[in-house]
Chains A and B, each alone.
Chain A
Amino acid sequence: MTETLEYSPYPPIDPINFDLIIVGTGLSESIISAAASAVGKTILHLDPNPFYGSHFASLSFEDLISHLNSPPKYITATATATTDNSDYTTVNLIQQTIFSDAEFNSCNSIEESQFLRENSRKFNLDLAGPRALFSADKTIDLLLKSGAAQYLEFKGIDASLVYNTNEGLVNVPDSRGAIFRDKNLSLKEKNQLMKFFKLVQQHLGGNEDEKISEEDMESSFVSYLEKLGLPSKIKAILLYAIAMVDFDQENGGVCKDLLKTKDGIDRLAQYSSSVGRYPNAPGALLYPIYGEGELPQAFCRRAAVKGCIYVLRMPVISLLIDKVTGSYKGVRLSSGQDLYSHELILDPSFTIPSTPSLSPKDFSLQMLSHVDIKGMVARGICITRSSIKPDVSNCSVVYPPRSLYPDQVTSVRALQIGIESCC
Chain B
Amino acid sequence: MHGRPRKPLKEEDESVLSAKAEKLHSLQSQFLANHQNRIYTKEALDLSAKLLEINPECYTAWNYRKLAVQHNLSESNSDSDASLFDQELKVVENALKKNFKSYGAWHHRKWVLSKGHSSIDNELRLLNDFQKADARNFHAWNYRRFVTALMKISDEDELKYTEKVIGVNFSNYSAWHNRSVLLSTLFKRKAEGFSHKEKVLQEEYKYVHSAIFTDSDDQSGWFYHLWLIDQTVKNDAPLLVSSWPSHGANITLNGNNSLHGSGLSLLNSTLSDTKTLPVILCFNQAVEGVNSSTVVVKSELLKEDLVWKPLSTNNSSTAQVWVVYLNMGNMKLQLSKTYSIEINIGHSMGILSSNGYHYGAPSQITFEVCVQTAYTEPVDGQRGKLTSWKDNDFRKIDHFEESNPAVSADHHIPTTSNWCMEAIDEEITNFQDLSDCKIRKLTLARLLIALDLLSPQHDKRKNHTEEVLKLYTELMKLDPTHSLYYKDEHSLLLLQQITSSRESLIPYCHYYKDASETNTSYVCLRLQNLSLSRMGSFENLLWVQMLDLSHNELRSIEAVTIAFKKLEKGLTVNFLTGLEAMQLLSCLNLSHNKFGSFTALGPLRLLKSLKVLNISCNELGSHSIDTRRYLCSSPLAHSEVFAWDRFEILCGSYSATKFWEAFLIFESLNLTDLNIAGNAVADENFASFIVKVLPTLKLLNDEEL
Interface residues on A, range: 10 to 19
Q: Is the CB of A177 within 8 A of B168?
A: yes
Q: Is the CB of A190 within 8 A of B213?
A: yes
Counting CB contacts under 8 A, is B78 at the interface? no
| Contact among A176, A181, A182, A191 with B435 in the assembled complex (CB-CB below 8 Å) | A191
Q: Name the CB-closest residue of B to A173.
A: B214
Q: What chain B residues lie within 8 Å of A194 (beta carbons)?
A: 213-215
Counting CB contacts under 8 A, is A195 at the interface? yes
Q: Interface 1/0s, chain B 414-444, versus A by CB < 8 A?
A: 0000000000000000100111000000000
Q: Interface 1/0s, chain A 245-260, versus B by CB < 8 A?
A: 0000000000000000
Q: What chain A residues lie within 8 Å of B167 (beta carbons)?
A: 177, 180-181
Residues of chain A in range 195-209 having any CB-CB distance to chain B below 8 Å: 195
Q: Is the CB of B170 within 8 A of A191?
A: no
Q: Is the CB of B213 within 8 A of A187?
A: yes
Expressed in whole angstroms, the Cα–Cα distance for A177 and B168 within the complex equals 6
Counting CB contacts under 8 A, is B209 at the interface? yes
| Contact among A179, A181, A187, A195 with B209 in the assembled complex (CB-CB below 8 Å) | A187
Q: Is the CB of A187 within 8 A of B430?
A: yes
Given the known interface contacts A177-B169, A181-B167, the answer about A191 and B210 at a Cβ–Cβ threshold of 8 Å is no
Q: Tell me the minimal C-beta distance from B494 to chain A in angstroms.
A: 33
Q: What chain B residues lie within 8 Å of A233 (beta carbons)?
A: none
Q: What chain B residues lie within 8 Å of A182 (beta carbons)?
A: 210
Counting CB contacts under 8 A, is A188 at the interface? yes
| Contact among B209, B215, B216, B433 with A176 in the assembled complex (CB-CB below 8 Å) | B215
Counting CB contacts under 8 A, is B211 at the interface? yes
Q: Is the CB of A195 within 8 A of B435?
A: yes
Expressed in whole angstroms, the Cα–Cα distance for A71 and B250 within the complex equals 109
Expressed in whole angstroms, the Cα–Cα distance for A179 and B218 within the complex equals 14
Q: Is the CB of B213 within 8 A of A188?
A: yes
Residues of chain A in range 158-186 having any CB-CB distance to chain B below 8 Å: 176-177, 179-182
Q: Is the CB of A177 within 8 A of B210?
A: no
Expressed in whole angstroms, the Cα–Cα distance for A181 and B167 within the complex equals 6
Q: What chain A residues lie within 8 Å of B169 (beta carbons)?
A: 176-177
Q: Name the CB-closest residue of A to B171.
A: A176
Q: Is the CB of A179 within 8 A of B433?
A: no
Q: Name the CB-closest residue of A to B167.
A: A181
Q: What chain A residues lie within 8 Å of B215 (beta carbons)?
A: 176, 180, 194
Q: Tell me the minimal C-beta distance from B687 to chain A in angstroms.
A: 60
- The majority secondary structure among interface residues of chain A is helix
Expressed in whole angstroms, the Cα–Cα distance for A210 and B626 within the complex equals 43
Expressed in whole angstroms, the Cα–Cα distance for A191 and B440 within the complex equals 13
Expressed in whole angstroms, the Cα–Cα distance for A187 and B207 within the complex equals 11
Q: Tell me the minimal C-beta distance from A135 to chain B in angstroms.
A: 18
Q: Name the CB-closest residue of A to B434.
A: A191
Q: What chain A residues lie within 8 Å of B213 (beta carbons)?
A: 187-188, 190-191, 194
Q: What chain B residues lie within 8 Å of A180 (beta carbons)?
A: 167, 170, 210-211, 214-215
Expressed in whole angstroms, the Cα–Cα distance for A405 and B214 within the complex equals 32
Q: Name the CB-closest residue of B to A189.
A: B213
Q: What chain A residues lie within 8 Å of B170 (beta carbons)?
A: 176-177, 180
Expressed in whole angstroms, the Cα–Cα distance for A254 and B683 within the complex equals 90
Expressed in whole angstroms, the Cα–Cα distance for A187 and B427 within the complex equals 12
Q: Tell me the minimal C-beta distance from A210 to chain B in angstroms.
A: 15
Q: What chain B residues lie within 8 Å of A181 (beta carbons)?
A: 167, 210
Q: Tell me the minimal C-beta distance from A278 to chain B in angstroms.
A: 15
Q: Tell me the minimal C-beta distance from B460 to chain A in angstroms.
A: 32
Expressed in whole angstroms, the Cα–Cα distance for A224 and B416 within the complex equals 49
Expressed in whole angstroms, the Cα–Cα distance for A324 and B632 within the complex equals 103
Q: What chain B residues lie within 8 Å of A191 (beta carbons)?
A: 213-214, 216, 434-435
| Contact among B168, B210, B433, B435 with A190 in the assembled complex (CB-CB below 8 Å) | B210
Q: What chain A residues lie within 8 Å of B211 (beta carbons)?
A: 180
Q: Which of A180, A182, A188, A190 has the most CB of B within 10 A?
A: A180
Residues of chain B in range 429-482 having any CB-CB distance to chain A below 8 Å: 430, 433-435
Q: Tell me the minimal C-beta distance from A156 to chain B in angstroms.
A: 16
Q: Tell me the minimal C-beta distance from B356 to chain A in angstroms.
A: 35
Q: What chain A residues lie within 8 Å of B209 (beta carbons)?
A: 187
Expressed in whole angstroms, the Cα–Cα distance for A176 and B172 within the complex equals 13
Q: What chain A residues lie within 8 Å of B168 (beta carbons)?
A: 177
Expressed in whole angstroms, the Cα–Cα distance for A176 and B217 within the complex equals 12
Expressed in whole angstroms, the Cα–Cα distance for A179 and B434 within the complex equals 16
Q: Interface 1/0s, chain B 144-171, versus A by CB < 8 A?
A: 0000000000000000000000011110
Q: Name the CB-closest residue of A to B163.
A: A181
Expressed in whole angstroms, the Cα–Cα distance for A176 and B210 within the complex equals 11
Q: What chain A residues lie within 8 Å of B433 (beta carbons)?
A: 188
Expressed in whole angstroms, the Cα–Cα distance for A194 and B434 within the complex equals 13
Q: Tell me the minimal C-beta distance from A276 to chain B in angstroms.
A: 10
Q: Tell me the minimal C-beta distance from A374 to chain B in angstroms.
A: 41
Q: Tell me the minimal C-beta distance from B293 to chain A in angstroms.
A: 52
Q: Name the CB-closest residue of B to A186.
A: B213
Residues of chain B in range 203-254 having any CB-CB distance to chain A below 8 Å: 209-211, 213-216
Expressed in whole angstroms, the Cα–Cα distance for A190 and B435 within the complex equals 12
Q: What chain B residues lie within 8 Å of A176 (beta carbons)?
A: 169-170, 214-215
Expressed in whole angstroms, the Cα–Cα distance for A263 and B216 within the complex equals 28
Q: Tell me the minimal C-beta distance from A208 to chain B in angstroms.
A: 22
Q: What chain A residues lie within 8 Å of B430 (beta carbons)?
A: 187
Q: Tell me the minimal C-beta distance from B213 to chain A in angstroms.
A: 4
Q: Name the CB-closest residue of B to A179.
A: B214
Q: Tell me the minimal C-beta distance from A185 to chain B in angstroms.
A: 9
Expressed in whole angstroms, the Cα–Cα distance for A181 and B211 within the complex equals 9
Q: Interface 1/0s, chain B 498-515, versus A by CB < 8 A?
A: 000000000000000000
Q: A180-B210, A187-B430, A190-B214 are in contact. List 7 more A-B contacts (CB 8 A).
A: A176-B214, A177-B167, A177-B168, A181-B167, A190-B210, A191-B214, A194-B213
Name A residues whose Cβ lies closer than 8 Å to a Cβ of B.
Answer: 176-177, 179-182, 187-188, 190-191, 194-195
Instruction: Supply 30 A–B pairs (Cβ within 8 Å), ascending by A.
Output: A176-B170, A176-B214, A176-B215, A177-B167, A177-B168, A177-B169, A177-B170, A179-B214, A180-B167, A180-B170, A180-B210, A180-B211, A180-B214, A181-B167, A182-B210, A187-B209, A187-B210, A187-B213, A187-B430, A188-B433, A190-B210, A190-B213, A190-B214, A191-B213, A191-B216, A191-B434, A191-B435, A194-B213, A194-B214, A194-B215
Name B residues whose Cβ lies closer than 8 Å to a Cβ of A.
Answer: 167-170, 209-211, 213-216, 430, 433-435
A-B pairs with lowest CB-CB distance, top 4: A187-B213, A191-B213, A190-B213, A180-B214
